[in-house]
Structure 1
């Protein structure tokens, strides 16, 4: 693990997993809302075993980087979170010059990755979006559902065993999430408003992304962020209209939000590894 200090003096903590030999590529993981990078250790270990160096920060307001309370990102926090990812990308490129850089974002991390590839075209060589969605469409659905976001996500799974059944069919993974003191919160109101602004403007119309960027979108067809895939379908349609010509869209029947913690996670990880091997060939 190492740390770096942002332009607004926030200390961010970064976890690192290295392969035994020289890396064939670097995978930078951007985690979701109300969680932290340690939860991606099994995925990172699988990637490292395949020859990838893996880096994952705890976003500002999360995990070891929680500087002002859970979900508090600070002034202009959403845009700064995106810039934090770019700063880490530059750092790992210096550590591993000449090898491809993959940005893998899950959920909130995928929303940040959607903005990153517009703000910093060419910084990442490959983009992976997991548990992702058309964010403006998600906000529209949540506005109809009421103020309790997590309850809205869990609503399709009634009668529910827990408040987090929407995450995975694997009860042990859900229970681990609920028992984790660094999990289960949302962004503060200011950061959520900033994300809404980004979602309704920049993210709704992807522009400036290199057309030959390899993009892999993977979602569960029971992920409540996607309204039975209609919103992930919309995101993919927008990317294709923007001219992206190396886009792969994979859906998993029955799977919920956290594909890397799902009952079929072995299949999900194997598919990801195979796709990455082809993308960086």
Structure 2
């Protein structure tokens, strides 16, 4: 692990998994809300075995970057700074691996940050993948209309449920590990959600200016409650098509829930991801 200092003085903690062989490319992972980068260790090790150097920072308000006792608190202008932290890390890994292709892989909240990243920093990466992603403005509007606890709304389609986190995966052991993890299970505080909402209803709703040839991979489960049976992920993909992206792959996994890399069909998901990575980094 290592740390770097963000523009507001925050030390951002970064996990690193070196490639098992001379690296063919770099994958930078942006994790989701209420979790942390170490949860991606199995995926990172599989990517490292395929020749990819992997980096994943703990977002501000999360994991080892979290200020003590302040889960989900991103701070002043925290949402925009979270996105800038991703760009800062990309510059670091590019300096460490000159000449190698870099792919940004964002999951859930990390994919929302990646959506904004691509509007400002697309030149830093050679491709991007969005897992468990959605049309964020429409998702937030749905949550506002529901008027309840976010996690309860997400778990609603699976009631009567075994746990309050059944929406994450069909794999009960993965759900139980999430619940038992003291660094998991929270949402952003109100000011931080406000920063996300401002971006979602503005720039993210009409993506423009992304290089049209940038490879983009969108992967979701058709039981992911963030997407209302893929309605919202399909809307996000259509927006990117209208923005002119020409190398766009959209994959929907039948029966899968939100955390595709922790699902019962994770071998299929990871295999498809690595096949795509091999193509776009060749």
The normalised TM-score by structure 1 is 0.99
Aligned to 1:37: 37
Q: 4+ residue runs of structure 1 moved beyond 3 angstroms?
A: none
Aligned residue pairs, count: 281
SS at match of 1:226: coil
Q: Which residue of 1 aligns with 2:258?
A: 257
Instruction: Give the conservation status (yes or no) of the 8 Å contact 1:121–1:208.
Output: no
2:142 is matched with 141
Contact 2:25 2:53 in 1 (8 A): yes
2-structure distance, mates of 1:30, 1:239: 20
Q: Is the 8 A contact 2:227 2:233 kept in 1?
A: yes
What residue in structure 1 maps to residue 223 of structure 2?
Answer: 222
* Residue 17 of structure 1 pairs with residue 17 of structure 2: yes
Residue in structure 1 matched with residue 2 of structure 2 by the alignment = 2
User: How far has the Cα of 1:65 moved from its partner?
Assistant: 0.2
Alignment of 1:100-139 (within 5 A): 100-139=101-140
Secondary structure in structure 2 of the residue aligned to 1:13: strand
Residues 231-274 of structure 1 show CA distances to partners (whole Å, capped at 9, x for unaligned) of: 00000000000000000000000000000000000100001001
1:10–1:67: 8 Å Cα contact kept in structure 2?
no
What is the CA–CA distance in structure 2 between the aligned matches of 1:147 and 1:12, rounded to whole Å?
Answer: 32
Per the TM alignment, residue 122 of structure 1 is displaced from its structure 2 partner at its CA by 1.0
Determine the C-alpha separation between the residues in 2 that align with 1:183 and 1:99. Answer: 33
Match of 2:153?
152
TM-superposed CA distance for 1:20, in Å, is 2.6
State the Cα distance separating 1:21 from its structure 2 match.
2.7
Q: Any residues of structure 2 matched to 1:205-216 within 5 Å, and which?
A: 205-216=206-217
Question: Any stretches of 5+ residues in structure 1 without a counterpart?
Answer: none
Q: Please, which moves more after superposition, 68-77 or 43-52?
A: 68-77
Please list, as runs of the form range in 1=range in 2, the aligned pairs for 1:154-169 lying within 5 A after superposition.
Answer: 154-169=155-170
Query: 1 CA distance for matches of 2:12 and 2:136?
Result: 25
* Counterparts of residues 224-243 of structure 1 (less than 5 Å): 224-243=225-244
State which drifts further: 209-218 or 20-29.
Answer: 20-29
**How far is the alpha carbon of 1:142 from its aligned partner?**
0.5
- The residue number in structure 1 matching 2:64 is 64
Equivalent position SS for 2:122: coil
Q: How does 1:83-94 map to 2 (within 5 A)?
A: 83-94=84-95
Per the TM alignment, residue 173 of structure 1 is displaced from its structure 2 partner at its CA by: 0.2
* Separation in 2, partners of 1:126, 1:275: 10
| Distance in 1 separating the partners of 2:59 and 2:171 | 25
The residue aligned with 1:51 is 51
Deviation at 1:280, TM superposition (A): 1.4
Question: RMSD in angstroms over aligned alpha carbons?
Answer: 0.6
Deviation by residue 1:56-107 (Cα, 9 ceiling, x = unmatched): 0000000000025100001000000000000000000000000000000000
Q: Give the Cα–Cα distance (whole angstroms) in 2 for the partners of residues 101 and 174 of structure 1.
A: 31
> 2: CA distance between counterparts of 1:90 and 1:160?
43
CA distance in 1, matches of 2:141, 2:189: 19
* Deviation of 1:279 (Å): 1.2
